[in-house]
């Protein structure tokens, strides 16, 4: 893929801009960090050249000034809310984040449990963290939030929250996911700081939508597709337009809440330091796009992938038709069609030719690899083996796993483990390949090509099992599936 984003420029420009924002306040800035602080694969897909850990690396340049507070909602702890991309609960992700930040030399000062109302699960989590030596604070639900400003900005509102003790000028407020209470935590801290005579500041770091590119730019449309389930809508920031006569892009929730924030700032600080939601932001990503068309094409491809993901969610009973219709509209606005994803028509054509489930994968140089269903392997497993052989320069007629090695695995599955499907899943296929690599040099060559699959595009003509989907994800392959099951059953 062509590079469209200057990552080094971004790291330098972004850290400098945050330092400048800190200096505008009393050497104390609460920075609400939206989206993923690291593993930001959406950004790396729509801005080719953006490294998934760019925001983390940028913070590492400020490590001597930065302190991290991780926020989690007591309600999310209580209902065991899951991160869909990682398959772990939000409270487990808090522990993962603490380890990840600490390993990179960043200081995690504390955890704040928001919307606390005596939940027993939150009490247990607090005790668990404190046993690990982590400071924990409670913030409470406030009746009438966010509209009842006289109550919110009072000793009975923010004043009831525990004050989070921090020691560094930049306090990064992050969370396992949306709806955790990051903004409320920042504003509560501002209230307490001002009561202590500290003129602290607030800023927001959201990568998307990018404020200084057009509203209907494919990069911004791809963000709408990514948040279609949240019903977020990009829009022109009317407050910025009125204040400066300049057109900028924000999203509906920030625009809708800004008058409330403005009133809160005035009550806390005496005046609002910002004239618009755009003013609050510190994102410099738009200034680091170096090839606009490369980013546009990458974003169109992302919208197509999001369409298939939404179709799969509808099929599984977790999505909605409204979500699909919204992404269909975004496809039109981005001037994209499903056929623009080359692996889609390729896999459907292969299914037609073989009269069975099929798969297609596009290598970085454009070569198209196929997989078909056989007695030994499912289409996705065959696809992986064929791609690895192609990358290793191994003739396709050569077996890197002998059929004799596969049959005992099939017997194990069907005769001893109760599986009705004798074909090998992708994880079973890769284990068989790694075993073969001990004695087969070609199997070893094929296995060594696994890292080369990262970033490849793939599509299957039927829905895959969760096992296969996770395996493709771990390999870094961008997978989409046709929204239909191989067999018409009620339970899958």
Q: How confident is the model at residue 417 (pLDDT cuts 50, 70, 90)?
A: confident
Task: For tokens 């992050």, name the residue.
Answer: 174
264-273 average pLDDT score: 90
* 159 shares a domain with 94: yes
Identify the DSSP state of 392.
Answer: H
388-397 average pLDDT score: 95
180-206 average pLDDT score: 94
**Residue 451 maps to a domain:** yes
Q: How confident is the model at residue 488 (pLDDT cuts 50, 70, 90)?
A: low
53-63 average pLDDT score: 90
Tokens matching residue 243: 């204040």
**Residue 11 maps to a domain:** yes
Distance of alpha carbon 13 from its chain centroid, rounded? Answer: 23
**Residue 308 maps to a domain:** no
**Residue 320 maps to a domain:** no
pLDDT, the chain, mean: 93
**Residue 67 maps to a domain:** yes
Tell me: pLDDT of 447 over 60: yes
* 238 shares a domain with 105: yes
Q: What is the pTM of this model?
A: 0.89
**Residue 129 maps to a domain:** yes
* 240 shares a domain with 389: no
- Name the range with the highest mean pLDDT among 263-272, 336-345, 372-381: 336-345
- Are 222 and 306 a contacting pair, CB within 8 Å? yes
Tell me: pLDDT of 31 over 80: yes
Number of C-beta neighbours around residue 96 at 10 A: 13
Tell me: pLDDT of 113 over 80: yes
From the list 201, 232, 193, the residue with the least C-alpha distance to 323 is: 232
* 264 shares a domain with 121: yes
* 108 shares a domain with 14: yes
- Residues 201/142/174/100 CA torsion (nearest 10 deg): 130
% pLDDT > 70, the chain? 99
121-144 average pLDDT score: 96
**Residue 146 maps to a domain:** yes
pLDDT of residue 489: 61
From the list 305, 488, 473, the residue with the least C-alpha distance to 380 is: 473
* 353 shares a domain with 268: no
The 3-state secondary structure of 88-147 reads EEHHHHHHHHHHHHHHCCCCEEEEEEEEECCCHHHHHHHHHHHHCCCEEEEEECCCCCCC
Tell me: pLDDT of 490 over 70: no
pLDDT of residue 109: 96
* 57 shares a domain with 131: yes
* 282 shares a domain with 350: no
pLDDT of residue 413: 87
pLDDT of residue 175: 94
Domains: count for the chain: 2
* 391 shares a domain with 256: no
pLDDT tens digits along 344-365: 999 999 999 999 999 999 999 9
Host H or E run for residue 170: strand 170-174
* 255 shares a domain with 359: no
Identify the CATH number of the domain in which residue 436 sits. 3.40.140.40
* 127 shares a domain with 16: yes
Task: For tokens 């606390």, name the residue.
Answer: 116
* 175 shares a domain with 78: yes
pLDDT tens digits along 85-112: 677 899 999 999 999 999 999 999 999 9
% pLDDT > 90, the chain? 78
Q: Which of 288, 304, 329 is the last residue of a domain?
A: 288
pLDDT tens digits along 400-415: 998 888 888 888 888 8
pLDDT of residue 404: 80
Identify the CATH number of the domain in which residue 62 sits. 3.10.630.10
Q: How far apart are CA 453 and CA 22, in angstroms?
A: 42
120-129 average pLDDT score: 97
Distance of alpha carbon 418 from its chain centroid, rounded? Answer: 36
Q: Which of 288, 308, 329 is the last residue of a domain?
A: 288
Q: How far apart are CA 29 and CA 280, in angstroms?
A: 12
**Residue 219 maps to a domain:** no
Which SS3 state, helix, strand or coil, does residue 362 take?
strand
pLDDT tens digits along 273-319: 999 999 999 999 999 999 999 999 999 999 999 999 999 999 988 89
Tell me: pLDDT of 491 over 60: no
Burial of 64 (0-12, 13-18, 19+ CB in 10 A): exposed
For the chain, the C-alpha Rg in angstroms (whole number) is 25
Tell me: pLDDT of 40 over 90: no
pLDDT tens digits along 231-245: 889 999 999 999 999
315-335 average pLDDT score: 95
Q: Which of 245, 273, 288 is the last residue of a domain?
A: 288
From the list 161, 221, 226, the residue with the least C-alpha distance to 193 is: 161
Q: Which domain holds residue 204?
A: 7-213+232-288
């Amino acid at each position: 893929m062509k590079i469209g984003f200057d990552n080094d420029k971004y790291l330098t420009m972004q850290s400098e801009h945050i330092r400048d924002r800190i200096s505008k306040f009393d050497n104390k800035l609460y920075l609400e960090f939206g989206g993923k602080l690291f593993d930001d694969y959406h950004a790396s897909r729509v801005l080719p050249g953006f490294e998934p850990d760019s925001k983390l690396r940028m913070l590492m340049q400020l490590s001597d000034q930065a302190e991290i507070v991780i926020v989690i909602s007591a309600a999310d702890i209580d209902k065991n809310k899951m991160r869909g991309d990682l398959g772990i609960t939000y409270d487990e992700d808090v522990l993962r984040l603490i380890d990840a930040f600490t390993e990179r030399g960043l200081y995690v000062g504390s955890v704040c449990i928001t919307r606390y109302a005596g939940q027993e699960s939150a009490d247990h989590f607090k005790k668990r963290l404190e046993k690990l030596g982590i400071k924990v604070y409670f913030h409470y639900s406030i009746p009438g939030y966010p509209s009842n400003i006289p109550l919110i900005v009072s000793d009975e509102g923010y004043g009831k929250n525990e004050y989070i003790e921090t020691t560094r000028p930049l306090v990064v407020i992050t969370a396992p996911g949306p709806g955790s209470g990051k903004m409320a935590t920042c504003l509560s801290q501002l209230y307490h700081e001002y009561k202590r005579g500290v003129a602290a500041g607030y800023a927001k770091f959201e990568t998307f939508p990018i404020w200084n590119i057009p509203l209907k730019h494919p990069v911004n449309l791809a963000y709408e597709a990514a948040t279609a389930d949240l019903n977020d809508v990009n829009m022109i920031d009317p407050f910025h337009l009125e204040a400066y006569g300049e057109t900028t892009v924000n999203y509906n929730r920030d625009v809708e809440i800004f008058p409330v924030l403005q009133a809160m700032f005035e009550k806390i600080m005496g005046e609002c330091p910002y004239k618009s939601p755009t003013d609050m932001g510190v994102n410099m990503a738009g200034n680091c796009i170096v090839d606009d068309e490369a980013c546009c094409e990458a974003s169109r491809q992302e919208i197509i992938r999001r369409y298939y993901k939404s179709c799969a969610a509808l099929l599984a009973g977790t999505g909605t038709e409204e979500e699909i219709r919204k992404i269909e509209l975004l496809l039109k606005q981005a001037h994209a069609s499903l056929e623009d994803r080359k692996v889609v028509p390729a896999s459907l054509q292969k299914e037609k030719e073989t009269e069975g489930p099929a798969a297609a994968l596009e290598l970085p140089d454009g070569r198209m690899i196929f997989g078909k269903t056989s007695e030994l392997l499912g289409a996705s497993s065959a696809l992986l083996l064929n791609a690895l052989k192609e990358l290793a320069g191994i003739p396709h007629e050569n077996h890197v796993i002998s059929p004799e090695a596969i049959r005992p695995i099939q017997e194990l599955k069907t005769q001893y483990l109760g599986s009705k499907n004798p074909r090998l899943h992708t994880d079973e296929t890769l284990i068989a390949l790694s075993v073969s690599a001990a004695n087969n040099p070609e199997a070893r060559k094929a296995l060594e090509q696994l890292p080369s699959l990262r970033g490849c595009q793939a599509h299957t003509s039927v829905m895959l099992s969760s096992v296969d989907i996770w395996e493709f994800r771990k390999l870094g392959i961008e997978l989409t599936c046709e929204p239909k099951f191989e067999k018409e059953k009620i339970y899958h």
